[in-house]
Amino acid sequence: MKAVNNGRNMGGEFPLVSVLMPAYNAEVTVVEAMQSILWQTYPHFEFIIINDGSTDATRERILSVSDARIRYYENEVNQGLVYTLNRGIDLCRGKYIARMDADDISLPTRFEKQVEVMEKSPNIIVCGTEVSLFGDLEIVKKVPDRAYRFISAEEFQKNLVLESGIAHPSVMMRKAYWMNITCVMMLIILVRRIINFG
C-alpha cells in the first residue's frame, strides 16, 4: 500500500474521530461521498481514504478534493473490502472509527450526534443510524423492509439473527474494541449462513 499526501499534516495531533472510507471504481459517486464527510458540523476528524486498486478515474476524483484532514492511500491492485478495511483500521489514530462508503452520503450532523452519544455513554461500543436507501431501484428493492430501520431494542435484537441490523457506512465505533466487534460480526455472519443454508 502506498501513501499519497494530498492534504496538509494535522500537526501531529490525533483527532478524536478517524473516518475510514475504502473506494473501488467509484468515480461517479466518490466526490459527493467525500463532500458529505468534509461538510460535517463536527469537524475534528481525520479522513482516511483507501483506493482499492480502482481501474477507472477514482484516483483522480479523490485527488481533486483538497482538505487538511484527508489521508489518502492506494492498494496497487484490488485487494477487496475486508483486506482494505483491516489495513485502514491500522492507520486510524482516533478514539472512534467512523465508517463510510464511496457510494453513500452522510447527513451533516451525523458525527456531531454520534460523538455526543459515544462521549456521554462509555458503555456504548458501536453507534449506528437508520438509513434511507437511494440509487439503483433494482438493488434497493432487494433490501428487506426490516433492514437498517430501528423499531425497538427488542425488535433489533431479534433481527440480529437475520442480519447485522447496522449499515456499515452509518457506524461509529470505539477503536479499542475493534477486534471484539469483528469477532461478533463474524459470528453473526456464520449464524446467518447456517440459518439460510442449513
- Per the listing, cell 483507501 goes with 50
What CATH class does 2-197 carry?
alpha beta
Q: Residue 115: CB partners within 8 Å, gap ≥ 6?
A: 16, 17, 42, 96, 172
Sorting pLDDT into bands at 50, 70 and 90, what band is 19? very high
C-alpha to C-alpha distance for 164 and 140, rounded to whole angstroms: 17
Q: Given this model, what pLDDT does residue 5 score?
A: 47
Give the tens place of pLDDT for each residue, 171-194.
899 998 865 555 555 555 555 565
Strand partners for 102:
none
| Mean per-residue pLDDT over the chain, rounded | 80
Q: Assess contact for 78 and 144: CB atoms under 8 A.
A: no
Low-confidence winner among 95-99, 112-116, 118-122, 180-184 (lowest mean pLDDT): 180-184
Question: Which pLDDT does position 43 carry in this prediction?
Answer: 95
The structural domains of the chain, with segments of one domain joined by +, span: 2-197
Please say whether the beta carbons of 15 and 44 come within 8 A.
yes
